[in-house]
Amino acid sequence: MIGEVVKKVVKNLDGMIGESELGEPFLSSHNYRTHSFNVEYFKPICLVKSDRKLAFVDGGNCELLSAPNFSIQLNRIYFNIFEGKMRVQNSNIPQAIEFFSATFAVFKNNEIFFDTSVFPVDDEFSSLVPDESDLSFRSTDRRLMVGSSRADISRVASIARRFAEWKFSRHIVENELGKGDVLVMDGTLRTAFVNEADYAREAYRAAKKKSVIYSGLSKTSKLFTTTGLSLLGAVRKFAEDSKVGPLWYYYPIADSLSPEHEATFFIVKLHEQAQRVFRYEIYGEQAKSLTPEEINEVLCQLCINSCDVSFPGYPYGLIDADVNARVRYDELETYRVMFLSEVSKLGSWPKFSRHMQSGDAHSILNMVRG
Amino acid sequence: MAMEVCGQIIAGLVGKILIREKSGQRIELGDLLVAEDKEGYLILQVFDLIYGSQITQLARELIAGMKLEGMGAGLEFLEPQLRNYIIAEAKAVLRVTGKPNVPKILPEFFSTVRHITSKDLEFLVKPSNPIYLGKVRSGTKIIDVDVYLDGSEALSHHILIPSTTGRGKSNLVKVMLWSIIGQKKFGILVLDPHDEYYGRNAKGLKDHPKARGNLLYYSTDAPTGTNTLVVNLSCIKPQHFDGIISFSEAQHRAIRLYQDAFEGRWMENIVRGTQVNGVDPRTLTVLQKIIQTALSVYIRNGELVCTNRVFSDTAGESTISEIVQALQDGKVVVIDTSKIGDEAELLIGSIIAGEIFYRYQEYKSKGELENKPPVSVIIEEAPRVLGSERLAAAGGNIYSKIAREGRKFKVGLVGITQLTSVIPKDILTNMNTKIILGNEMAPERHAIIDSAAQDLAEDDRNIASLDKGEAIVSSIFTKFAVPIQIPLFEEFIKSYGAGQAKASPEKVEYVG
Amino acid sequence: MYKFAHFSDVHIGAFRHTVLQNLVLQAFKRALDICIERRVDFIIFSGDLFDSNFPDMGIANEAVKKLKDARDNGIDIYVVYGSHDFSPTQTSIVDILESAGLFAKVTKGKVVEGKLKLDFHINKRTGARIVGIHGRKSGIEREYFEILDRESLEKEPGFKIFVFHGAVTEYKPATLAAAESIPVSNLPREFDYYAAGHIHERSEGKLPGYEHILYSGILFASDYRDLEQNALGEERGFFIVSFDDKIIDVEFVKVPVCEYAFIQYDATGKNASKVQEDLFEAAKKLDADGKLVLLKVKGEMSGGKTSDIGFSAIRRLIEDKGALHVTVNHFGLTSKAYADIKIVGKDIHEVEVRLFEENIDVVKVSQPKLKGKSGVQLSMELLKVLRQEQKVNELKKEYEARVVTSGLETMQLKEAIE
C-alpha cells in the first residue's frame, strides 16, 4: 500500500519537474534585470599561469545557552590563503578570531529589540569584531520575522557572525593580500540586515584600494527559472544539452540594481568531475572593470583549487575554511558547562532556568522519545 | 632524526596515549618516543598504528572507488598531510627524572614527541658482569646503546627465550655466549642438539680470542683439539633418570639391588645380564631393553657397545667431573648432542646439572657459596623437560628442580622454547628474564605476556611483528621491556678480532 | 709375528728409602728379564723411566746395566721424556744414555712454517714406525700437540706407534679429574698403537680412530699413593703387544715384587690414647713378615694431638715383626682441640698442594705467574728442587750451587741473574 503511494508521489514530482522548458532566470524583478538563457553565455575556463593568491573566508557560530529572551553564542571566523593548490602562510593577523555574543531582548521605543554584546576571546581580536552599536535589531523587522511571528532571537544572534565576516575580510584584504589577489567569502555578497551594507562597503573600499578582487561563492542557491526549475539545475541541463566543455562559466545571468547587492553573478563549473555548479559573485564595480582574460584567470585559479577529491568542483580553501570555522559539538559542551557553572556560582541559575525552560519543550520531548 | 618532532599527543589514557604522527616521520610499531617536560622526560612505546582522517569513512570509500574505477582523473587530496595521517597508540614505559622510574603520570597534554636518542638511554649502563644482548631498537631503527644483562643476577634467576623457528634464537645465544667467554664469572653449560654453537665448519665460539682455556667442546665426533663426549657408565646414578625415563616399582627395586651389589658398576652389570638375587629375569630383560633404547648401550660379542658412542665402561670416568670443574671455574662448556638421542642428551645434562646443583647446595650449607660463580644450563626445546605433560607423566627432574629452587644456589636455567604455553606457570614465573623473539602463534604470545616481568598486555602486535634478530627483553632487572636488535653473530665477532689471538707458531720451541 | 713391550713410569730413583728404591729397581730388572725371555723385538718406555733427570748414580747404574742387557739381547729400546726425567736446562740422564747408544728418543722433529713435523723412527727388524712427543711439566707439551702436523703422520703407511707421556682427557681416572690432560683428538688418528704414560693406573682405551690407547701404568710405585693402590690389589706390570701389520694381541704381564699389608684406621671421634691403643693392637696382630706394610690413619680425633700417638714405636713394632718396610700415613689425621693444621689430604703431595692453594693469596705479588694455580705449581716445583739431596761425593758448595741454579731455572730467573 505504502509502496503504491510512494510511486504516485514520485510520478507526480517527475511530472512537475519538466526540464523540456528551461524558461528564463527569475529573480525579484525590481532589484534585478535578468538575461535570457543563451548558449553564447557559456564561456570555457582556460587554464593559464597566474600568481594570484586566493583568500577564503568562512564563519561559524553555535548557540551555547538560549531562551526566548537571550542567546549566548560562540562565533568563529577563519581564513586561509592559497596560491593554486598550495597553502600560503599568513603572517600579519591571526588566522581565526573567536568571540562570544550575548543577545538579549530589550524593550525600548515601545518595541522588543534584540541587542547583541560582543566578547572577544582574546584582546587581539577586539578590533576585528563588529561594533555592538550595529547589532541592535527590531524583533519585528520584516527581514528577520518568520511569517508573522517575531524574529527568532537565535537567528538574530547569528547576525554578529555575518558582520564579523565582513569586518575580518576587510582586515584580511588590508593586511594579507596584494594587487590582483582575490578574496572569496563563503556565501553571497547580498546584504540582508540593517547596517550590514556598511560593513560590506568598508570591505569593498579596502578591496578597491588594494586592487584586491572581492567575491563570494555560495554552496546553495534558491534561485529559480520561470518554469519553476532551480536556476542552477537549469543552467546545468543547458550546459549538458549544449555539450559545453569540462570547465565553464555562465555569464550574464542578471544585473543587480540593488544597493544591497552590489555584485555580478556567474554560474561556474570548476572541475570536469564536478557534480555541482555554483553561484559565484564578484563585487560589481570591480567585475565591470575586469577583462574576460582577467575573469578567466580568476576563475582558473579557483579551478586549480577545486580539484580536491573529497568535493570535486568546490574550492578546497572553502572546504578547509568550513572545517576550521565550524564550532563542533564537543567544543560546545565544554563552553556550555563553563557558562552554566558561572551562572550557578552567581546564584542566578533559578532565574536563567525559568526563561530557558520556557523555550525548551522540544528538547524535552526529544529526550523522552529517545 | 635526533631532536626533530615526530608527533603530538592528542588524547588517551596512561595505557594508551594517542599521538598524531607528523607527516613524513613514519612512526613504527615498537618505536620509542620521548615526551619531555620540565622535570625530565617520559619514554613512550608505540604498540599500535591506526589511520586517522578528517574525511569520513564513507567519503573515503567513495573516493577510493572513484580512483580505482578510473573516475578520479585530475582529482587529488589537497594538503594530504593535514587531512590523512597516522595515529600511534603508545604507552608510557619509563619516566626519567635523573633516574628512571615506573611512570605514574601522563605526559603534558598536546606535548610534542620525538624519537629517542642514545642520550635518553644513558641510564642503561654496562653491569660489572655483562652478558651482551644487542643494541636498543626503536621500531626498526637501531640506537647506538648497548643492552646487557647482569649475568650474576640474571643467570641464577633463569632466562627464557621463547621463539618460533627462524627468528634468530641460535644467533642470540651465540652472541650471549661470546660475550661471556673469558670473563670467568659464570659457568655455562650448553646442550647443543644442532651443533651450531662451537663453529665446527663455520664461525662460532671457537673463534673467540679467549676461547683457549675458556671454552670446552665435547662431541662424539670431536674435531682436533676438542674433547670426545664419552661418559663412563659408573657416573650414572639412578636418580639421573628422574623425569627422563620412568621406571616401574619393580624396576626401581631391581636397580637398587644392582647398586648394592655392584655400586658404580650397577648399570654395566645390568647390561651384561649379571644375575642378582631377588631380581626377576624378566625385569632384568626389560631394564636391558630400556637402557638399550634410551642409551644405545648393549652387549655384543661379550663387549659393551654404545652405538651413539657416548657411554663407555672404560673411558670417560672424569668427563663429568671435568665439566663440572670447568663450570665452577667460569668456563663455557658446549656439548654437541646432535648425534645422540633425546634421552641420552637429557641424561647427560641431568648428570651434569645434578652434580653442579648438589655441589652448590653443599657450598651453601658450608657458607662457601658466595665465592662460587653462578652456573647456568642452556637447554633447547625446554618443554622436553619442563612441559606440564612431561612433568605430570614422568615426575619432576633436575631441570624443573633447578627452575624452582636453583636461584637459592646460584644455579640457573636458560630455556629455549617454541611453546611457552606448555610450561607450568610456576616455572614460568620463576624465569625472571624473558628475551622474547618473534612469535606468530597467539596462544604462545599470550603465555609469554602473562608471565612477563613488565606489563606487555599491549605488545601482542609488537611481538607478532618482530622480525628476525629483533627481540624484547622483559626482565625484573631491566627498567622496562627493552626492544633490542641482536647483531648477526658473524658481523658481531668481527669487531672482537675473532680468531686472531692464536700463538705465533715460530715462538714454540720444540725440544726433541 | 713381532712383539714389543710397552712400559711407562718406571720412576727409577724414586723414594728416599733404600728398600723402596730397590723394590723399584727390582721390578724394573724383573720386567726386562721377562722381555728378554719372551724375545720381544723392541721396548717402548713412554716417559718417566727415571724419577728425575739426574737420579742417584748408584741406582741409575743398576738400571743401565739391565738396559744394556736387553740391548745385548738384540732388543731395541725407544723412549720419550716424561715429566720427571726431563729438564729444560740441564742434560738429562735420558740424553746421556741415548748418546751412549742404549736407546733412541723417538721425538725427533722440527717446527716448519708453524707446524711441528715429526720424523718416524723405523724399527729395522719389524718395520714398525715409531714416533712420539715428550712429556713436559705442567702439560706444556699441549702446545706441541696444537701445532702438530697430524696429516703427515696419518698419511704414513705401515704399522705405526705413537708414544706420548700425558693424560688423555677421555681416559683420566676419576681421581685425576683435575689433572692437566689433552683430548684424544689431539693425537694423530689411525695409529695402530698409542703407547701412553704418566697415568699410574693401567687402562686400555678404545675410541673411534684410536683403537688402542694403552697406559701400562706404573711398574711398581713412585709415591705413597701408588703403594696404597698396590696394597689394595692393583696389579702392576707392562704390556707385551703382538703384531704383524695389525695388532694381534695385547697381553698385560704382571710384575709383582712383594706382598703388602694394609692397615686403615679411622680415628674419628676417638681420643689419641684410644687411637694409639688400637693401632698397637692392630700392629701386634699383623702378619708383617716380608711384607711392605702401609699404615694409614685418618679422621678427626676428639681429643689429644697427633704427636701424642707413638707412630715411631708402632713402626718399630711392625719392623720387628719382619716387615720389609713400613710406611705411615697420618696426613689425614686431625684433632678437634688442636686444629693447627687444617689441611687434609690423602698424601703429602696433596697436603702440600692444598697448603699452597690455601695460602698463595696471602703473599701479595704483582707477577701473574706467582698467583693462583700457576703460583701453586711453581711453588711445588721449587719445593721439589729444594728437596734435592746432596749426592754422594758431591761437595757442599757444589750441592748448594746446584740447588740454587735449579731454583733459579725453575723460577726462570737464571738469565736475568746472569
By the CB < 8 Å criterion, does C94 face chain B?
A: no
By the CB < 8 Å criterion, does B285 face chain A?
A: no
Strand locations in B156-207, DSSP E? 159-162, 187-192
Would you call A309 and B63 a contact, using CB atoms and an 8 Å cutoff? yes
Q: What pTM, to 2 d.p., does this model score?
A: 0.75
Residue C265: CB partners within 8 Å, gap ≥ 6? C275, C278, C279, C282, C295, C296, C297, C298, C299
By the CB < 8 Å criterion, does B59 face chain A?
A: yes
Angle (CA) B444 B445 B450, round 5°: 100
Assess whether pLDDT exceeds 50 at residue B503: no
Smallest CA–CA separation between B140 and chain C, in Å?
45
Q: Which of B222, B505, B511 sits opposite C115 (nearest CB)?
A: B505
Assess whether pLDDT exceeds 50 at residue B504: no
3-state percent helix, strand, coil for chain A, nearest multiple of 5: 40, 25, 35
B360 and B422 inside one domain? yes
Residue A351 pairs in a beta bridge with none
Q: What distance in Å separates the CA atoms of residue B461 and residue B458, rounded to the nearest whole number?
A: 7
Task: Tell me, yes or no, whether B501 lies in a domain.
Answer: no
Residue pLDDT, tens place only, A100-150? 999 998 888 888 888 999 999 988 888 889 998 998 888 888 778 777 777
B213 and B247 inside one domain? no
- Which single residue is written with the C-alpha cell 610499531? B29
Give the torsion through C-alpha atoms of C317, C323, C325, C326, to 10 deg: -40
Would you call A271 and B78 a contact, using CB atoms and an 8 Å cutoff? no
Would you call B75 and A320 a contact, using CB atoms and an 8 Å cutoff? no
Distances (CA, A) of A19 to A114, A231, A251, C162: 44, 11, 21, 116
Boundary (domain end) residue, out of B117, B149, B171? B117
pLDDT value at residue C337: 62
The backbone torsions φ and ψ at residue B396, rounded to the nearest 5 degrees and listed phi first, read -65, 160
Would you call B510 and C146 a contact, using CB atoms and an 8 Å cutoff? no
Cell of B291: 637402557
Q: Contacts of residue B76 in chain A, CB cutoff 8 Å?
A: 307-309
A74-88, B133-147, B182-196, C87-101: which range is least confident on average?
A: C87-101
- Which single residue is written with the C-alpha cell 712420539? C132
Angle (CA) B255 B261 B264, round 5°: 75
Of C283, C234, C268, give the one whose Cα is nearest residue C254. C234
Which CATH number is correct for C2-254, 3.60.21.10, 3.30.590.20, 3.40.50.970, 3.30.365.10? 3.60.21.10
**ipTM given for this complex:** 0.78
Q: Contacts of residue B325 in chain C, CB cutoff 8 Å?
A: 177-178
Smallest CA–CA separation between A199 and chain B, in Å?
33
Smallest CA–CA separation between C251 and chain B, in Å?
17
Closest-CA residue of B relative to C177 is B318
Boundary (domain end) residue, out of B91, B117, B143? B117
Task: Tell me, yes or no, whether B503 lies in a domain.
Answer: no
pLDDT value at residue C138: 60
Residue B56 DSSP code: -
B431 and B286 inside one domain? no
Task: Tell me, yes or no, whether B151 lies in a domain.
Answer: yes
Residue pLDDT, tens place only, C261-294? 999 999 998 989 999 999 999 999 999 999 999 9
Assess whether pLDDT exceeds 50 at residue B18: yes
Which amino acid, one-letter code, is at C399? Answer: Y
Would you call C183 and B322 a contact, using CB atoms and an 8 Å cutoff? no
Closest-CA residue of B relative to C114 is B505
By the CB < 8 Å criterion, does B105 face chain C?
A: no
Q: Which of A271, A308, A320 sits opposite B77 (nearest CB)?
A: A308
By the CB < 8 Å criterion, does A305 face chain B?
A: yes
Percent of chain C with pLDDT over 90: 54
Binned at pLDDT 50, 70 and 90, residue B507 comes out as: low
Residue pLDDT, tens place only, B476-499? 998 899 999 999 999 999 887 655
B272 and B394 inside one domain? no
Binned at pLDDT 50, 70 and 90, residue C88 comes out as: low
Length of chain B: 512
Mean pLDDT in residue range C89-93: 76
Assess whether pLDDT exceeds 50 at residue B1: no
Residue C112 pairs in a beta bridge with C115
Residue-range domain boundaries for chain C = 2-254, 259-346, 377-417
Smallest CA–CA separation between A308 and chain B, in Å?
5
Binned at pLDDT 50, 70 and 90, residue C416 comes out as: low
B170 and B294 inside one domain? no
B188 and B111 inside one domain? no
Burial of A183 (0-12, 13-18, 19+ CB in 10 A): buried
B284 and B334 inside one domain? no
Residue pLDDT, tens place only, B135-155? 999 998 999 999 999 998 999
Would you call B72 and A309 a contact, using CB atoms and an 8 Å cutoff? yes
Percent of chain A with pLDDT over 70: 99
Q: Which of B315, B318, B511 sits opposite C134 (nearest CB)?
A: B511
Residue B475: CB partners within 8 Å, gap ≥ 6? B149, B154, B432, B433, B434, B453
Give how many domains chain B has, as a whole number: 3
A contact chains, 3+ CB pairs < 8 A:
B
Would you call C183 and B225 a contact, using CB atoms and an 8 Å cutoff? yes
Q: What distance in Å separates the CA atoms of residue B90 and residue B107, rounded to the nearest whole number?
A: 11
Contact in structure between A268 and A301 (CB atoms under 8 Å): no
Task: Tell me, yes or no, whether B349 lies in a domain.
Answer: yes
Residue pLDDT, tens place only, C14-45? 988 889 999 999 999 999 999 999 999 999 99
DSSP helix/strand/coil, B365: helix
pLDDT value at residue A141: 81
B125-134, B140-149, B212-221, C344-353: which range is least confident on average?
A: C344-353
By the CB < 8 Å criterion, does B457 face chain A?
A: no
By the CB < 8 Å criterion, does A191 face chain B?
A: no
DSSP helix/strand/coil, C112: strand
Residue B442: CB partners within 8 Å, gap ≥ 6? B460, B464
Catalytic residue among C6, C84, C212, C325: C84
Mean pLDDT in residue range B290-309: 87
Percent of chain B with pLDDT over 90: 57
3-state percent helix, strand, coil for chain C, nearest multiple of 5: 35, 25, 40
pLDDT value at residue C343: 54
Range of the domain at B400: 130-222+326-496
Q: 303-362 in B: which are within 8 Å (CB) of C?
A: 309, 314-319, 321-322, 325
Reduced 3-state DSSP string for B90-123: EEEEEEEECEEECCCCCCCCCCEEEECCHHHHCC
Residue B341: CB partners within 8 Å, gap ≥ 6? B294, B296, B308
Q: Do chains A and C touch (3 or more CB pairs under 8 A)?
A: no
Residue pLDDT, tens place only, A139-181? 888 778 777 777 788 888 889 999 999 999 999 999 999 999 9
B112 and B135 inside one domain? no
- Which single residue is written with the C-alpha cell 598504528? B49
Task: Tell me, yes or no, whether B318 lies in a domain.
Answer: no
Please provide the DSSP assignment of A136-201 as one string.
EEETT-TTT-BTTBPPPHHHHHTHHHHHHHHHHHHHHHHHH--TT-EEEEES-S---STTHHHHHH
Report the DSSP pairing between strands A136-138 and A182-186. unpaired
Reduced 3-state DSSP string for C350-391: HHHHHHHHHHHHHCCCCCHHHCHHHHHHHHHHHHHHHCCCCC
Burial B57-90 (b: 16+ CB within 10 A, else e): eeebeebeebeeeeebeebebbbeeebebbbbbb
B450 and B397 inside one domain? yes
Q: 109-148 in C: which are within 8 Å (CB) of B?
A: 109-111, 113-116, 134, 143-147
Q: Count of alpha carbons within 13 Å of B100, Cβ hemisphere only? A: 17
Would you call B74 and A307 a contact, using CB atoms and an 8 Å cutoff? yes
Residue pLDDT, tens place only, C157-197? 999 999 999 999 998 888 888 788 889 999 999 999 999 99
pLDDT value at residue C89: 67
Task: Tell me, yes or no, whether B316 lies in a domain.
Answer: no
B333 and B478 inside one domain? yes
Active site residue C200: no
| Torsion sign, CA atoms C203, C207, C212, C215 | negative
Residue pLDDT, tens place only, A311-352? 999 999 999 999 999 988 888 888 888 888 888 888 888 888
Q: Contacts of residue B315 in chain C, CB cutoff 8 Å?
A: 170-171, 205-207
Task: Tell me, yes or no, whether B319 lies in a domain.
Answer: no
- Which single residue is written with the C-alpha cell 598531510? B81
B347 and B491 inside one domain? yes
Reduced 3-state DSSP string for B271-315: HHCCCCCCCCHHHHHHHHHHHHHHHCEEEECCEEEECCCCEECCC
B77 and B188 inside one domain? no
Report the DSSP pairing between strands B332-336 and B215-219. parallel
| Arithmetic mean of pLDDT over chain C | 88
Q: What is the CATH number of the domain that holds B170?
A: 3.40.50.300
